[in-house]
Amino acid sequence: MKIIKITLMASALIFSNMTTVSADTVNYSDTTTPIIESITLNPSIVNVSTEGAILIATVVASDDLNNMNSFNGYLHPLFGANPQSRSDQVLSTKVVNGRVQVTFQLKFTFKKGTPVGDYQIRATVYDAADNRLVAAGANMPGNSFKVVNDVASGPIDVTQFDYVAKLDQYLAQVQSLQTKYNLLEKKLKTICSKKPKPKGC
């Protein structure tokens, strides 16, 4: 009986050393980067015809030994001053198949005038031991969206800013009116040349 108990205790100790550490501790022997399991975007179409368009990216990632500290993300192919987001607020943490699985949300706010087109989110994940998965998530299912600009008045007619063309149109209208005036004046002279002269001549 004692031998069986000792064997069970030894097995428990070995198993505990193989599992992930608890959320409030850090396993510094961890040298493996986390992985991103999914990225879900809402909405799939972002309309930038008005200020304040918002996109929420829900990112699920996991690590074999540690919890995760933070996520950040940016738009691809846009960089620099375009919408970026960072979060250290965890929506949920659970252990799935021996891995610590964490869900974050990233909030992107779009300004009017963001270039239209097709985009994805590229996310960087940090685990508690500071292993980083950088700029990941390309071509994952659900990780794509469109930026559109549905202005009710339609596209701007850029010819309205061509003042030379406007002047040419005005001169053409004046010339047309002058031609009509000359024709009317000629007809009036013809009518008034008759005898007896009509009234009004």
11 three-state secondary structure: helix
* The predicted structure's pLDDT at residue 9: 37
- pLDDT tens digits for range 87-144: 878 899 999 999 999 999 999 988 887 888 899 999 999 999 999 999 999 889 999 9
* The predicted structure's pLDDT at residue 183: 86
* CA 12 vs CA 7, 65, 94, 139: distances in Å: 9, 18, 21, 41
Phi first, then psi: give them for residue 50, nearest 5 degrees: -130, 165
| Rounded-to-integer distance, Cα 127 and Cα 66, Å | 6
* The predicted structure's pLDDT at residue 161: 58
Residue 125: strand pairing partners: 71, 133
Which residues are within 8 A (CB) of 182 and not within 5 positions of it... i.e. 6 or more apart? none
* The predicted structure's pLDDT at residue 144: 92
Nearest CA among 66, 54, 57 for reference residue 28: 66
| Residue 16 contacts residue 51 (beta carbons within 8 Å) | no
Asked whether residue 18 carries a pLDDT value surpassing 50, the answer given is: no
| Residue 141 contacts residue 113 (beta carbons within 8 Å) | no
| Rounded-to-integer distance, Cα 126 and Cα 88, Å | 10
- pLDDT tens digits for range 140-175: 999 999 988 876 545 555 555 566 667 778 788 888
- Parallel, antiparallel or unpaired: strands 53-63 and 84-87: unpaired
Lowest-confidence region among 2-16, 46-60, 166-180:
2-16
* The predicted structure's pLDDT at residue 15: 31
Q: Where are the domains of the chain?
A: 21-148, 159-192
pTM over 0.75: no
- Class of domain 21-148 (CATH, top level): mainly beta
* CA 166 vs CA 46, 78, 159, 163, 170: distances in Å: 36, 38, 9, 5, 6
* The predicted structure's pLDDT at residue 80: 53
* The predicted structure's pLDDT at residue 14: 30
- Parallel, antiparallel or unpaired: strands 145-148 and 45-47: parallel
Asked whether residue 4 carries a pLDDT value surpassing 60, the answer given is: no
Percent of the chain at pLDDT > 90 equals 31
Asked whether residue 57 carries a pLDDT value surpassing 90, the answer given is: yes
